[in-house]
Structure 1
Amino acid sequence: MNVFLKNKDYRRFSVASFLSTAGDVFFYLAFMTYASKLHNYSLALSLIAISESIPRLFDIFGGFLADKTRNKFKSIFLMAVVRFVLYGIVGLLFVSNVSQWNLVIIVVIINFLSDTFGAYSTGLIVPLIIDIIGKEEFGEAEGFTNGVSEVINTIAQFVGSGLLLFLSFANLAFINAITFMVAGLLFLSVGLKHRKDQKPLEAQEVNDQKFFATMKSSYKQMKKAQGLLTVIFVIALLNGILTALGSLIPIMIAGNKSTMIITSYSFTIAVMGVVVSVGAILGSMFGPQLFKKALVFTITILAIILSFATTVATILANIYAVLAVYFLLAATASIASIKMQQWLVNTIEHKILASSVGLLNTILMAVAPIFTTNMTSISGFVSVKYALFTLIAIEVIILFVAIKMGIKNKVKAEINTVQ
């Protein structure tokens, strides 16, 4: 939070991100509501989900292109303008006489393109943020941004639902377009300010390697930092476990209504969602400062232990114990993830930083659906308890790996770079 308050340029970047997050939520709710009213709503909602999820796997390519971009401010502004135009077109489509299914298909394509451009924009932001605030404060800044974004995402869902009562689908599309335009202007204002002050942030060397050579360089640099690759691997698995628990716990609650229901099933699920969100928000916003001197291996080991405790509490069908340890798990996992990103930023050469962050995000995002699919499949074909016992086995293994690596390497590289 201190970085946000004292650094005007970073504050503008953050506000731009918050605006586009809120606009995206408003439009997503509007589009989902529109699609839910169609005759074959299941197919329409599935297409929307696909258009939202696939671009998230493009972070690695977006980061690579960002590293090869010389004028990052100009590019990020142009991406905002392009997304402004795209959602302006969406707004016009909603007020046109286009048939419902043709409209859905066109908007799905536009949404897919916009989110793909968003992967490139995210890659552009990372090195610029580091140039503005410095590597040392990146973890704190990233934690604050993630936490506030989660708060805005939650609030925007309720606000968006209310706006749908008196605003049209077209109006919400136009609002989304405007948020991108305002975000672009904020990015541009920072770029012009630094150009005027003769402090161009794009002065660093641009990556001239091809894609696979860049990934190879990134891997080699991560490998040089003893323990970093292990931490990435463990936290990716931890992220998968956290996501899988989010799918298995509701199944367990449904099968143990006498001991795990608080008032009603829907209320219990809602409470669980709020508890996890609050844990992640608090961990992201305040964890990097409170645990600034704690080693990432220590936080990671603690997160694995809490993951184990959450799984055991679920097997014992104790909903209050589940909520308590799940909250702590969400907070601790957020802190571990941010400290890992800080270590990565301190380790990787600046000119391939966006590519490396994109690679990291792609790994983290890919593991979650794989874990969830496998665990829910075990639950469906055998039983939910078998799935939970499988999670326990995985947790024990990664806990052993984390402890072993922590002792073996004594995390010397992290002590030198983070502290």
Structure 2
Amino acid sequence: MQEKIRKRGFFVLTGAELTGVIGDVLYNIVFLIYATQQENKFLCVSIAGILPFIPRVLNFYSGYLADRIKRPFKSATIFKITQIIMFLVVAAVIEHPSLIVFLLISVLMVLSDFLGNLYGGVFIVAEKDSLHADEREAYMGYLSGITSAIYLIFQSAGVGLLTVFHNDFTLIALINAFTIALSLGILWAGRKYLPASAFNKKVTTQTEESPEQTQVNGMVAGAKLLWSFPEIKTMIILIITINFLGAIQTPVLNLTYTQLNAILINHSVSFTILAVSLSLGIGELIGGFSLGTPLHKIKLLQLMPMNFIMYLLSAVAVFLANWPLLLFTMFILGFVQGMFNPKFNAWFMNNVPEDNFALVSGMMTTCSMFAIPVGQVVGMSLVGLGSIYIGWTLLGILGLLAAIGAIYVNKNYQVNI
């Protein structure tokens, strides 16, 4: 009986989390469309593109704060209520287009995402306590797979709702507020199944220092802890490489759709974009669920050479104008991504001290995020040259070098993930 209650606690936490994700996915894609309809279209679209990265860059700080919250459930409730109020404000102003309104909504979205990061951070210990160590990888895989499915379904649903309701952005904001409220409702309805750490959490404090000094010392200590694990150092390097290559690939691939008709499926740009997105998403979905099968025995480092070689193969696909090969490479990239996150998250829960869970996780995210703007600059610079083949050649070479590097690490370093 106790075993069932414990697992129900995990399902309550993940159910609340996934319900909130639905609203986020819906609104993020809709907000980008909203940006394209503003008077200063270029500026607004640029801002909309940058917004998702701001909370991620601040993950180290939200992680630090989350680790020091003593009452996770109470704090999570406050976070959710605040988010609901924010999106009610968005719903009230969004149909009065102006640059000021757009900037206000942008600020509210960043704050909401920051609160979302805090929400996720405060319950990391509770999620750990809801599962045995040998269960975490499989369950994290299921969670990753379901999240991928949500992204696949509700990105399209957001666009569909806008079409059906004639660009009613107020409705989408209200739907997002409703999903947040529903997420909070799930949390409250299932609170009796949550572990004790969801309500009261041990927090290490240093009362002799000023709050500012405590924060600095806490984050320095977290950074030292981060680099004390060879596995984490290796993973950060791998994630940075993955993000860098992916950030280069995106603008080059987008230009390819417009310059290389032979790569298009049925001569349709929109259908090809959809097929590429679906291949990536389905790969993530299957990769996540595969951790409940014998494939969970594969170590992350063993996956990396295959992952990196896909960038070379995607370049080959473009040079050959072979869209089935391109879709295959996207599927494999998604599959590896679907396995990567839950496997690492499970290892993370089993090895990192609880009082620094969110901080170390946030620092990892922040470190790895810096590769994305650099990769985007490189990708956009290559796009600016006007030839897709220059970009794909560079991406293929970098993918090959990364694969060789991953093989070398596999052979010469013992990293047990």
TM-score (norm 2): 0.85
Would the aligned equivalents of 2:314 and 2:396 in 1 still touch at CA under 8 Å? no
- Out of 98, 103, 106, the position equivalent to 1:105 is 103
Residues 12-161 of structure 1 mapped to structure 2, 5 A cutoff: 12-94=12-94, 100-161=98-159
Q: Distance in 1 between matches of 2:73 and 2:197?
A: 10
How far residue 55 of structure 1 moved from its aligned partner, in angstroms, is 1.9
Would the aligned equivalents of 1:207 and 1:352 in 2 still touch at CA under 8 Å? no
> Which is worse superposed, 359-368 or 62-71?
359-368
Would the aligned equivalents of 1:91 and 1:173 in 2 still touch at CA under 8 Å? yes
Would the aligned equivalents of 1:63 and 1:123 in 2 still touch at CA under 8 Å? yes
How far residue 102 of structure 1 moved from its aligned partner, in angstroms, is 4.1
SS in 1 for 2:123: helix
Would the aligned equivalents of 2:315 and 2:392 in 1 still touch at CA under 8 Å? yes
Would the aligned equivalents of 1:62 and 1:121 in 2 still touch at CA under 8 Å? no
Find out whether 1:252 has 2:256 as its counterpart. Answer: yes
The equivalent of 1:181 in structure 2 is 181
Report how many aligned residue pairs link the two structures: 406
For 2:262, give the aligned amino acid.
S
User: Can you give the 5+ residue segments of structure 1 that lack an aligned partner in the other structure?
Assistant: none
The equivalent of 1:205 in structure 2 is 202
Q: Distance in 2 between matches of 1:369 and 1:337?
A: 21
Residues 14-413 of structure 1 mapped to structure 2, 5 A cutoff: 14-94=14-94, 100-164=98-162, 165-166=164-165, 168-194=168-194, 199-201=196-198, 204-208=201-205, 210-258=214-262, 260-287=264-291, 289-381=293-385, 383-411=387-415
Would the aligned equivalents of 1:288 and 1:338 in 2 still touch at CA under 8 Å? no
Q: Distance in 2 between matches of 1:343 and 1:192?
A: 27
User: What fraction of aligned residue pairs are identical, expressed as a percent?
Assistant: 21
Q: Distance in 2 between matches of 1:301 and 1:322?
A: 18
How far residue 284 of structure 1 moved from its aligned partner, in angstroms, is 2.0
How far residue 66 of structure 1 moved from its aligned partner, in angstroms, is 0.5
Would the aligned equivalents of 2:88 and 2:174 in 1 still touch at CA under 8 Å? yes
How far residue 237 of structure 1 moved from its aligned partner, in angstroms, is 0.6
Q: Distance in 2 between matches of 1:340 and 1:208?
A: 28
For 1:105, give the aligned amino acid.
L
Alignment RMSD: 3.0
Would the aligned equivalents of 1:218 and 1:348 in 2 still touch at CA under 8 Å? no
How far residue 67 of structure 1 moved from its aligned partner, in angstroms, is 0.5
The equivalent of 1:8 in structure 2 is 8
How far residue 71 of structure 1 moved from its aligned partner, in angstroms, is 0.8
The equivalent of 2:211 in structure 1 is none
For 1:159, give the aligned amino acid.
A
For 1:236, give the aligned amino acid.
I
How far residue 35 of structure 1 moved from its aligned partner, in angstroms, is 4.5
Would the aligned equivalents of 1:245 and 1:311 in 2 still touch at CA under 8 Å? no
Residue deviations 1:355-380 (CA, integer Å, cap 9, x gap):
11111222333322321321331342
How far residue 68 of structure 1 moved from its aligned partner, in angstroms, is 0.9
Q: Distance in 1 between matches of 2:139 and 2:4?
A: 7
SS in 2 for 1:292: helix
Q: Distance in 2 between matches of 1:62 and 1:307?
A: 33
Q: Distance in 2 between matches of 1:394 and 1:360?
A: 23
Q: Distance in 1 between matches of 2:283 and 2:5?
A: 23
How far residue 82 of structure 1 moved from its aligned partner, in angstroms, is 0.7
Q: Distance in 2 between matches of 1:117 and 1:16?
A: 15
Change (3 A) 1:374 1:36: closer
Residue deviations 1:287-344 (CA, integer Å, cap 9, x gap):
4644222222112222223333233333333222121122112212331343233333
Would the aligned equivalents of 2:226 and 2:360 in 1 still touch at CA under 8 Å? no
SS in 2 for 1:263: coil
Change (3 A) 1:365 1:281: farther
How far residue 63 of structure 1 moved from its aligned partner, in angstroms, is 0.8
Would the aligned equivalents of 1:76 and 1:187 in 2 still touch at CA under 8 Å? no
> Which is worse superposed, 55-64 or 178-187?
178-187
SS in 2 for 1:291: helix
Q: Distance in 2 between matches of 1:56 and 1:228?
A: 18
